[in-house]
């Protein structure tokens, strides 16, 4: 029986245990979208996870949509991430970077004045996005990418992955969920293209398959994962047939030898997304979405997943794995300090105590 504390291998990634820290935006990057010393400490504290997946990191200026999210396209950002990688490795941990291009899900005030807002089609995101002050504001109309520009966007992802590896990060995860650029290509309502990247499911998955193929060639398939959430409606997603779309995607990715599929497992009418993944993808699976320790153990024991990821519990419990191991109650995270927008603000970020400090 597979135990949550047993070691695992996801491609080239050797994990000391099967507890994965899920990617979580925290809005703590510096003025040049570089990781701060507080971010270094935040990830160092949580290095007991078998694998850390970083917060969404923009591969290019156009990929940014939220205030104070980090990038991986400038030298100062690479050096900041190098410090993060060294801190995590120094504690015996492993870390991959989530590459997040938000596409149309962005606010002009959050990004550089010269950075465009692009998408598969000129259809705005209907959901408002928080601006610099945290107040949600309407998004702008994106410019539809021309077919000749798509290889350039893929090349930006590739360069970001190479920068991550140069910084010492162990691999990358392509964010294909939450209504961001890859999912905008996947979803039938946000992708109204009439070329090879739109229309049929085979065409709509092409951007994601080509991007992951390029990432695999650049840094090795065993260091590349991807995150999906079939059926999610966040940021205006409304695919006409998510089961068909994702079965097509998974079959297209299965032969690439990638490190893992990271599934956000939400309820869907007519199909179960974990069953869909297992039927169409033969590689390792990380299960995510509201898991408890008990439920995670069952998922692993039944062979439905190879690792399990936790988000919210890692915010308030930097020593989450040890608390699980020793049966210690979990601390509650302060939702009021999830997003402060200040790179040097430790409140609700690096000031949560470890269990031995709780008397």
Which residues lie closer than 8 Å to 233 by C-beta, 6 or more apart?
none
Helix (H) or strand (E) holding 130: strand 129-130
Q: Does residue 43 have an active-site annotation?
A: no
The SS3 call for residue 303 is: coil
Angle, vertex CA 293, rays to CA 90 and CA 176, nearest 5: 70
Burial zone of 234 (CB within 10 Å; 0-12 exposed, 13-18 middle, 19+ buried): middle
Catalytic residue among 42, 43, 66, 180: 180
Query: If you search the block for the tokens 């998408």, which residue do you land on?
Result: 119
Tracing tokens 């999610």 back to the chain, one arrives at: 232
Could you tell me which residues are beta bridge partners of residue 119?
A: 144
349: Cα within 13 Å, side-chain hemisphere: 24
Q: CA angle, 232 as apex, 275 and 192 as ends, to 5°?
A: 110
DSSP 354: P
Q: Are 76 and 34 in contact (CB under 8 A)?
A: yes
Task: Give the tokens for residue 280.
Answer: 């169409």
Token pair of 169, please? 């990060």
- Residue 9: strand, helix, or coil: strand
* Residues taking part in catalysis: 180
């Amino acid at each position: 029986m597979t135990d949550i504390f047993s070691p695992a291998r996801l491609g080239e990634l050797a994990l000391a245990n099967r507890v994965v820290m899920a990617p979580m935006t925290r809005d703590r990057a510096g003025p040049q979208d570089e990781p701060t010393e507080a971010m270094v400490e935040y990830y160092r504290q949580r290095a007991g996870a078998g694998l850390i997946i970083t917060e969404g990191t923009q591969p290019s200026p156009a990929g940014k949509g939220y205030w104070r999210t980090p990038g991986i396209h400038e030298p100062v950002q690479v050096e900041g991430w190098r410090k993060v990688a060294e801190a995590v490795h120094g504690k015996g941990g492993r870390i991959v970077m989530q590459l997040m291009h938000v596409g149309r899900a962005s606010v002009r005030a959050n990004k550089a004045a010269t950075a465009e807002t692009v998408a598969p089609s000129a259809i705005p995101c209907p959901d408002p996005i928080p601006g610099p002050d945290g107040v949600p504001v309407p998004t702008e109309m994106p410019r539809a990418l021309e077919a000749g520009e798509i290889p350039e966007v893929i090349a930006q992802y590739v360069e970001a992955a190479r920068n991550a590896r140069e910084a010492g990060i162990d691999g990358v995860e392509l964010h294909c969920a939450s209504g961001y650029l890859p999912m905008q290509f996947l979803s039938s309502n946000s992708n109204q293209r009439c070329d090879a990247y739109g229309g049929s499911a085979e065409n709509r998955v092409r951007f994601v398959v080509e991007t992951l193929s390029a990432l695999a060639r650049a840094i090795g398939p065993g260091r590349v994962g991807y995150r999906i959430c079939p059926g999610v409606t966040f940021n205006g997603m409304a695919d006409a047939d998510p089961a068909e779309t994702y079965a097509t995607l998974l079959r297209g990715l299965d032969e690439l030898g990638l490190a893992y599929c990271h599934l956000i497992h939400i309820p869907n009418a007519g199909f179960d997304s974990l069953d869909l993944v297992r039927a169409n993808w033969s590689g390792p699976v990380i299960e995510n979405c509201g898991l408890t320790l008990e439920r995670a153990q069952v998922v692993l024991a039944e062979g439905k997943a190879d690792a399990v990821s936790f988000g919210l519990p890692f915010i308030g419990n930097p020593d989450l794995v040890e608390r699980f191991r020793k049966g210690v109650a979990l601390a509650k995270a302060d939702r009021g300090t999830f997003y402060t927008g200040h790179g040097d603000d430790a409140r609700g970020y690096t000031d949560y105590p470890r269990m031995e400090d709780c008397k």
